[in-house]
Structure 1
Amino acid sequence: MLNGEKQISRPLRWAMVGGGRLSQVGYKHRSGALRDNTAFKLVAGAFDIDARRGREFGVNIGVEAGRCYDSWAQMFADEASRSDGIEVVTIATPNGTHYEISKAALNAGLHVICEKPLFFTSQQAREIKQLAAEKGLIVGVTYGYSGHQMLLQMRKMIAQGDIGDVRMVEMQYTHGFSANDNADKFSEAQKWRVEPKIAGPSFVLGDLSTHTFYISQLVLPQLQLKSLLCDRQSFIPSRAPLEDNAMVLMHYHGGAVGRMWTSSVNAGSMDSQFIRIIGSKASLEWRDSQPNELRHERQNQPNQLLHHGMPYLDETALADDRLGALHTEGLTEAWSNIYLKFALAIDAKQRGEEAALADMIYPDIDAGIEGVRWVENCVRSADKGAVWVNYE
């Protein structure tokens, strides 16, 4: 169980690019990184494209005025000259900026934590992976939901054969907050998400389904995609060619099949993400609306509802528990868990502990590459007329 005690020798000196006052996601990053104040210390930032607003915001959250920068380029240059300069940067900016900023950060000797989807193309992602390897640096991706401890319980139960052979993978991440075009017109955070030059080749496939796709990789690390078919729609015509709804069918090597529905026009839905793994003996189901529970349904036996923090869980799940079984944990705790793992990975890298690093489970550069690759293949299938394509 986690209690905030230090697990690395000192907090990492951390900065943010983006994540300012108008950001939807910035507070999630800070809540996650600073929950264990022994892991990160926020010392600098280029928080906003509006420099004045960014400086004001940075000071208001406790960053020294002189280290609230007008741009990320200025921050990287100035911090490099300080003996107490930043060591790691989070990139919480629109998709189209991720590649340039990540590359500059790595060249400045900084570890990178980046929003998803990582980049526009898998080629860009592979380039960044190679650069990070050359520099001896970590790249992490903020798949925040993956920090929920019951997903590690699901991973363990599948690995030890509790559900038998995996046959089907059912996934969904939908909401209804884009059921009309009001957000496109009035929300700054939404406007760029439906602009291809900034968002990239997709809307909900990249913005939503990459979260759930990574969860499937987390709980089923040995299951590899063979082919898929994606049918995507723009129910709000002005969003075309980007989709606000998509359905994906998948074939895996070994015979398992899968399905993903992702949508921002599921009218009336607040937030509905789940993953269900169906095996030859039983099924496991997890939902982000009830993240503290894992449903275990066994054929011809009573169903089980496993609960976080209980001693019957696997040690990998219990290791991420923060509040105990009596108290509800949520998304903030999940983000805290992945940020702590980023810190442990960075610390291991800095100390040259490659063996320890290899055993860590967290959303790394390879997870980011697979998210981009997933989107690429879905878009390729959809743009060919919703046809089956080999997973490339």
Structure 2
Amino acid sequence: MLNGEKQIANPLRWAMVGGGRTGNVGYKHRLGALRDNTAFQLVAGAFDIDAERGRSFGTNLGVEQERCYADYQTMFTEEAKREDGIQVVTIATPNFTHYEITRAALEAGLHVICEKPLFFKVEEGEHIKALAEQHNKIVGVTYGFSGSQLLLQMRQMVQNGDLGDIRMVELRYTHGFGCDEIGDKTNEGQKWRVDPAKSGPSFVLGDISTHTFYMSELICPHLKLKEVLCDRQSFVGSRAPLEDNAYVLMRYEGGAVGRMWASAVDAGCMDGHRIRIIGSKASVEFSDNQPNELLYQIQGQPIQKLIRAMPYLYDECNADERLGALHAEGLPESWANLYLKFALAIDAKERNDSEALAKLIYPGIDAGIEGIRWVQTCVESADQGGVWVTYN
């Protein structure tokens, strides 16, 4: 169980690029990083493309005014001159900026935590992976839901054979907040997501389906995708060629199959984020809007509801427990677990502790590259008219 005690010698000196006042994701990063006051300290930032607004925002967060920078280039240069300069930076900016900022951060000797999807091309991801290895740095990707400890319960259930042979993977991440184009014009966080020059080749595939796809990889690491078939739509016509709805069929090596539904136009749906793993003996299902429960369904037996933090769960799951079974956890704790894993990974990397690093389960550079590959392959299939495309 986690209780906030320090797990690394000193908090990491941390900065943000983006994540300012007008964005909707920066607070999630700060909640995650600062929930354990022993892992990260926010000491600098280039929070906004508007330098004055970014400075005002940063000082309101408690960052010294002189360390609220107008841009990330200046921040990397000036922080490198300080004995107490930053060690790690979070990139919470639009997709099209991720590659250049990540590259600059690694070249400045910084560890990186980056929003998803990581980049637009697999080749960019491979280049950053090589650069990170060259500089002995960690690149983490904020698949923010993946810190939910019940996903580790699902992983152990799969590995221990509780479900039997895995046959089907059902993935869904849908909501209805994009049913019209009002938000495309008025919401700062939405505007760039529907602009192909800034969001890349997809909208919902990159923005939300990558979360659920990584969760499936975390739970079933032995399953390797072989082929995908994607059909995508732009129901709000002004978003074309970006999709606001997509269906994806998956074939895995070994015979398992899967489906993904990603949508921003699921009218009336507040949160349709679910993952269900079906085996030859039983199934298990996680829903983001019921993050403290797993449905465990053994063929021929009553449905079981497994509750977070209970002693009948696997130790690997309860190791990330924070509040106890009497108290509900949710997305902030998931982000906190994720950021703690990033801190532990960075600490292990700094100490060249490859054994400790290998034991950590967190979305690193390889998970980021797979997210790029997932989006790229889905777009390729859809743009060819919805045909099966080899996943490689």
**d(CA) in 1 for partners of 2:272, 2:253:** 28
Is it true that 1:136 corresponds to 2:129 in the alignment? no
The residue number in structure 2 matching 1:301 is: 301
- What SS class does the counterpart of residue 310 from structure 2 fall into? coil
Q: CA deviation at 1:271?
A: 1.4
* CA–CA distance in structure 2, aligned partners of residues 193 and 75 of structure 1: 26
Deviation at 1:385, TM superposition (A): 0.3
Q: Could you say which residue in structure 2 is the equivalent of 1:170?
A: 170
Q: Unmatched 5+ residue regions in structure 1? A: none
Written as runs of structure 1 = structure 2, the 5 A alignment for 1:137-286 is: 137-286=137-286
Residue identity in the other structure for 1:350 = E
Q: Secondary structure in 2 aligned to 1:36?
A: coil
**In the TM superposition, what is the alpha-carbon distance from 1:374 to its structure 2 partner?**
0.2
Cα shift at 1:127? 0.4
Aligned residue number for residue 29 of structure 2 = 29
> SS at 2:129's partner residue?
helix
- SS, match of residue 105 in structure 2: helix
CA displacement at 1:359 relative to structure 2: 1.4
Residue number in structure 1 paired with 2:313 = 313
How far the C-alpha of 1:358 sits from its partner, in A, is 1.2
Paired amino acid for 1:298 = I
Shift of 1:78: 0.1
Q: Distance in 2 between matches of 1:165 and 1:44?
A: 49
Measure how far apart 1:301 and its partner are: 1.1
TM-score by length of 2: 1.00
1:43 and 2:40 aligned: no
Cα distance in 1 between the residues matched to 2:141 and 2:253: 26
| 2:91 is the counterpart of 1:91 | yes
Please report the TM-score for the alignment, with normalisation by the length of structure 1.
Answer: 1.00
CA positional deviation for 1:304:
1.0
Cα-to-partner distance string for 1:260-292 (whole Å, 9 max, x where unaligned): 000000011111100001100000000000011
Residue 386 of structure 1 corresponds to 386
Structure 1 counterpart SS, 2:137? coil
Match of 1:170, SS state, is strand
Q: Distance in 2 between matches of 1:113 and 1:33?
A: 11
Deviation at 1:355, TM superposition (A): 1.4
**In the alignment, which residue of structure 1 is the partner of 2:123?**
123
Q: For residue 191 of structure 2, give the secondary structure of its aligned residue in structure 1.
A: helix
Could you list the per-position Cα deviations for residues 154-185 of structure 1 after superposition, in whole angstroms to 9, with x for gaps in the alignment?
00001000010000000000000000000011
Aligned length: 392
Amino acid at match of 2:169: V
Letter in 2 for 1:342: F
How far residue 188 of structure 1 moved from its aligned partner, in angstroms, is: 1.2
Instruction: Summarize deviations over 1:93-128 as a string: whole Å, max 9, x none.
Output: 000000000000000000000000000111101100
Distance 1:74 1:37 in 2: 27
Q: Secondary structure at the match of 2:385?
A: coil
Match of 1:70 in 2: 70
Q: In structure 2, what is the Cα distance between the partners aligned to 1:271 and 1:282? A: 25
**1:374 correspondence with 2:371:** no
Q: d(CA) in 2 for partners of 1:366 and 1:292? A: 28
Could you say what secondary structure the match of 2:69 adopts? coil
State whether structure 2 residue 347 is matched by structure 1 residue 347.
yes
Equivalent residue number for residue 59 of structure 1: 59
Name 1:109's counterpart in structure 2: 109
TM-superposition CA deviations, 1:111-149 (whole Å, max 9, x none):
000000000111101100000000000000000100001
The Cα shift of 1:303 comes to: 1.5
Residue 356 of structure 2 aligns with an amino acid whose one-letter code is A
Q: CA–CA distance in 2 between the matches of 1:87 and 1:26?
A: 19
**Whole-Å separation in 1 of the counterparts to 2:246 and 2:67:** 43
The residue type paired with residue 333 of structure 2 is E
Q: Which runs of 4+ in 1 moved over 3 A?
A: none
Q: Hey, what's the Cα distance between the residues in 1 that align with 2:105 and 2:319? A: 32
One-letter amino acid of the structure 2 residue matched with residue 265 of structure 1 = V
Deviation digits for residues 241-272 of structure 1, max 9, x if unmatched?
Answer: 10000000000000000000000000111111
Question: Cα RMSD (Å) of the superposition?
Answer: 0.5
Distance in 2 of aligned mates of 1:298 and 1:318: 22
Deviations 1:219-250 (A, max 9, x none): 00010000010000000111001000000000
Distance 1:143 1:229 in 2: 23
Deviations 1:27-60 (A, max 9, x none): 0000000000100000000000000000000000
